[in-house]
Amino acid sequence: MSSHINGVKLVFPENAATKEYAASLDAADPLAAFRDKFIIPSKANIASKKLAKPKLSDEPCIYFCGNSLGIQPKATSKYLEAQLDTWSSIGVHGHFTDIEDSPLRQWQLLPAQAAESMSKIVGAQPSEVTAMGTLTANLHLLLASFYKPRASKHKILMDWKAFPSDHYAIESHIAWHDLDPKTSMVLIGPDEGEYEVSTEKILSCIDQHAEDAALLLLPGIQYYTGQFFEIKKITEHAQAKGLVVGWDLAHAFGNVILHLHDWNVDFAVWCTYKYGNAGPGSMGGLFVHEKHGRVDYSQGDDAPQFRHRLAGWYGGDRSVRFKMDNKYKPTPGAEGFTLSTPSAIDLTCLCASLSIFDETSMAEIRKKSVQLTAYLEYLLLRNTTDENRQFQIITPSNPEERGAQLSLLLKPGLLQKVAQKLHEAAIVCDKREPGVIRVAPVPLYNTYSEVWLFVQQLRAAFEE
């Protein structure tokens, strides 16, 4: 079996299904050292309900759940200690003082510190990115700015199986404008019996509703199937038909290569606790293309012209923020969409994780990810046929159409048993009813040997 990426064929040799071959891949892995930058939960701890720190002598579990929650970077405690020491030692002055030997900037500049790192991950200019809020809150804020329905153009086109928070957000904005989701929300789904939604199907739906559609919102990577959509092609087509285009990058951030600026995306939102490893419920990020973030003072300093948004104090320019004269002077770029003083603690955890991404590149991360996921697919399908296999991989087989995740749709009645057996084997991956197990080997901390062992344990679970 072989896979292709960017025209390069990945071929696995005859001995690829051996433990020794997996170990040889790990030995040649240029990102292998990054695993030591994370704290891998131990087998003992995930089986216990007591609070305990992992010990160096503990055997690690196999953690394939980074698509739901990434594991903790070792840098997090170091960064948090510096943050707490700043708070305890100088109090309010932490907002304006750069501390020597600290990995963190003064508090009011922490969003910019995070934005510089995140902009490299999503392919944007630093001014087009900011760290704030959470994914759904940020989606609501940007919809308030970008969804401007009219009687003739009011529909929102979205994914058939969008994550519930996106679905709820879209419904609520449509209702906010006294419209009916039944007529103003259009779900784009796959053909009968399929799980992938082809680009052609999406473009056809855009064409079908072009006259009365106002906005398109899709996930960069579909959370259930793991499908990576053609963001550039879809964005260009939708904008040519007069639609505003936004993307939910919850499962794409830190996972696949993105070029949001060059792709001319209007806006995007993401969380940072999955492949971003910033911690449960960590601060989210957003992208607003520079064309939407401009501030025009041609009519005078007291009459700035800018894209309407739900404004807040922290979105005001730092040069006049503390004048407190209630004359709103928005910061150009994505930072102008900020509302309140952001949590320095949350930003600290985010910056700690981003410091790891700063040591490599998305190109290197993606290169390993493609190989790691292809190896998982090879082992899963080896020596099996559609007839005797206990599962179906519903993630696209083309590496260019997926990220680190493979979604396995099990035969009816197997989900609970298989999930329990994997748990007993100290393998962490998640399940989605009625029958999907999502497996996500993350290139920054997972290994080829772990992929090999997972497949052995999965097969054993089917046989028991």
pLDDT in tens, 138-187: 999 999 999 999 999 999 999 998 889 999 999 999 999 999 999 999 99
Bridge partners (DSSP) of residue 436 are 409, 432
Are the C-beta atoms of residues 160 and 220 closer than 8 Å to each other? no
* pLDDT for position 7: 46
**Residues sharing a CB contact under 8 Å with residue 91, sequence separation 6 or more, in sequence order:** none
Bridge partners (DSSP) of residue 270 are 285
For residue range 337-365, what is the model confidence (pLDDT) as tens digits? 999 999 999 999 999 999 999 999 999 99
Query: What percentage of the chain reaches a pLDDT higher than 90?
Result: 87
Q: What integer is the mean pLDDT of 392-407? A: 96
CA atoms of 418 and 410, how far apart (whole Å)? 9
Query: What percentage of the chain reaches a pLDDT higher than 70?
Result: 98
CA atoms of 220 and 254, how far apart (whole Å)? 12
Task: Give the DSSP letter of residue 169.
Answer: H
What SS3 class is residue 304? coil
Question: Could you count the other beta carbons within 10 Å of the beta carbon of residue 286?
Answer: 28
Tell me: pLDDT of 67 over 70. Answer: yes
Helices marked H in 36-74 — which ranges? 43-46
Q: What integer is the mean pLDDT of 317-336? A: 90
Tell me: pLDDT of 464 over 80. Answer: no
User: Could you tell me the pTM of the whole model?
Assistant: 0.95
Tell me: pLDDT of 375 over 60. Answer: yes
Q: From residue 105, how far is each of 89, 133, 459 by CA, in Å?
A: 15, 19, 49
For residue range 196-235, what is the model confidence (pLDDT) as tens digits? 999 999 999 999 999 999 999 999 999 999 999 999 999 9
Q: From residue 96, how far is each of 86, 108, 117, 284 by CA, in Å?
A: 11, 7, 21, 23
Q: From residue 155, how far is each of 159, 177, 332, 455 by CA, in Å?
A: 13, 11, 29, 44
Annotated binding-site residue numbers: 135-136, 163-166, 248, 251, 273, 313, 341
Tokens of 18: 């051996």
* pLDDT for position 11: 85
For residue range 73-131, what is the model confidence (pLDDT) as tens digits? 999 999 999 999 999 999 999 999 999 999 999 999 999 999 999 999 999 999 999 99
For residue range 229-275, what is the model confidence (pLDDT) as tens digits? 999 999 999 999 999 999 999 999 999 999 999 999 999 999 999 99
Location of structure tokens 């809020």: 133
What SS3 class is residue 342? coil
Q: What integer is the mean pLDDT of 284-290? A: 98
Tell me: pLDDT of 314 over 50. Answer: yes
Bridge-based pairing state of the strands 285-288 and 129-131: antiparallel
To the nearest 10 degrees (0 to 180), the angle between helices 110-122 and 344-357 is: 40
| Count of residues in the chain | 464
* pLDDT for position 210: 97
For residue range 304-313, what is the model confidence (pLDDT) as tens digits? 999 999 999 9
* pLDDT for position 1: 47
CA nearest to 113, candidates 366, 362, 357, 332: 357
Residues 158-183 as b/e (b if ≥16 CB within 10 A, e otherwise) read: bbebbbebbbebbbebbeeeebeeee
Residues 345-371 as b/e (b if ≥16 CB within 10 A, e otherwise) read: ebbbbbbbbbbbbeebebeebbbbbbb
The model's confidence at residue 302, banded by pLDDT at 50, 70 and 90, is confident
Can you list the domains of the chain with their CATH numbers? 3-60+361-463 (3.90.1150.10), 109-355 (3.40.640.10)
Own/partner long-range contacts of 35-38 (Cβ < 8 Å, ≥24 apart):
35/444, 35/445, 35/446, 35/447, 36/74, 37/73, 37/74, 37/75, 37/356, 37/444, 37/445, 38/71, 38/72, 38/73, 38/74, 38/277, 38/444, 38/445
Annotated binding-site residue numbers for pyridoxal 5'-phosphate: 135-136, 163-166, 248, 251, 273, 313, 341
CA nearest to 432, candidates 460, 407, 406: 407
Tell me: pLDDT of 6 over 80. Answer: no
For residue range 408-455, what is the model confidence (pLDDT) as tens digits? 999 999 999 999 999 999 999 999 889 999 999 999 999 999 999 999
The per-residue DSSP string of 197-228 comes to: --HHHHHHHHHHHTTTEEEEEEESB-TTT-BB
